Amino acid sequence: MRVKLCDRCSQSAPILYRVKYEQGGQWIFVCPDCWSSVSDNNPFYVYGGTWKAQKNKK
């Protein structure tokens, strides 16, 4: 299983969202808890995909 930490709260999570949430900001990975706080009513919010600890193997 792969491990990645939330760039805001530093907690590991099985699913992280790649987002930008500041004007001219960098891409970061956030956990579901932090995602709700950066995305709500934010005109600069941009979603860039979902990272999963367990990849689907074909």
What's the pLDDT at 2? 85
pTM: 0.88
Within 8 A by CB and 6+ apart from 30, the residues are 6, 7, 8, 16, 17, 19, 38
46-52 β-sheet, strand order? 28-30, 15-20, 46-52
Domain that holds residue 13: 1-58
- Output the CA angle 43-11-40, nearest 5 degrees: 20
What band does 1 get if pLDDT is binned at 50, 70 and 90?
Answer: confident
Q: 9-31 pLDDT, tens per residue?
A: 999 999 999 999 999 999 999 99
Number of domains in the chain: 1
